[in-house]
Structure 1
Amino acid sequence: MAIDLTLMSRGYCHLCHDMEVALKPLADEFGFSVTVVDVDADPVLEAKYDELVPVLLHGETELCHYFLDEAKTREYLAGIR
């Protein structure tokens, strides 16, 4: 089963870039992909996630926001393997 996580992000957000970089080792370990979505490109997403970015999602499940919660993300990924 291919796992694709979504990172709600914006181009000028340093926390977003930090989370994207922090996800790389986990992606390598667990074999998931990350789709980065610019919330500023969609008014609905911007309204929903504006002050929360970066937000890491698996489908509609929010794994964390602002900073990568590695322990929670690892636990979630281990549970869906």
Structure 2
Amino acid sequence: MDTRITLIGKAGCHLCDAARETVSRVAAELGVGWVEYDINEHPELKEDYWDLIPVTLVDGRRHDFWKVDETRLRTALGG
């Protein structure tokens, strides 16, 4: 399974928790892989995305920030 979705967030972030649930559900339904990075453990991500988390990337390109729109995510993944 190819990793197509990247979620960038942090612990204790309620928006990140909601994004994680959406990403996990959509990825499972569409059979695509996803990975999550904690912004506090990656200085380069913190510099680029601190004020936007949660951030989702699809195929390495920024897709959404602050919130994951499920319909938009499905469309981007071809589902």
The two structures have a TM-score, normalised by structure 1, of 0.84
Q: Which amino acid aligns with 2:18?
A: D
SS at match of 1:64: strand
Unpaired runs of 5+ residues, structure 2, are none
Contact (CA 8 Å) 2:9, 2:37: kept in 1 or not?
yes
| Map of 2:18 onto structure 1 | 18
Q: Which amino acid aligns with 2:4?
A: D
Measure the CA separation in 2 of the matches of 1:69 and 1:35: 18
Measure the CA separation in 1 of the matches of 2:44 and 2:26: 29
| Map of 1:71 onto structure 2 | 71
Q: Which has the larger radius of gyration?
A: 1
Runs of 4+ in 1 over 3 A off after TM superposition: none
The percentage of counterpart residues that share the same residue type is: 29
Offset, 1:14? 1.0
Contact (CA 8 Å) 1:3, 1:31: kept in 2 or not?
no
The two structures have a TM-score, normalised by structure 2, of 0.86
- Note the alpha carbon deviations across 1:16-55, whole angstroms, 9 max, x for none: 0111012222112111122110111122210100010000
| Map of 1:51 onto structure 2 | 51
Q: Which amino acid aligns with 2:63?
A: L
Unpaired runs of 5+ residues, structure 1, are none
Equivalent residue pairs, number: 79
Q: CA RMSD in A?
A: 1.7
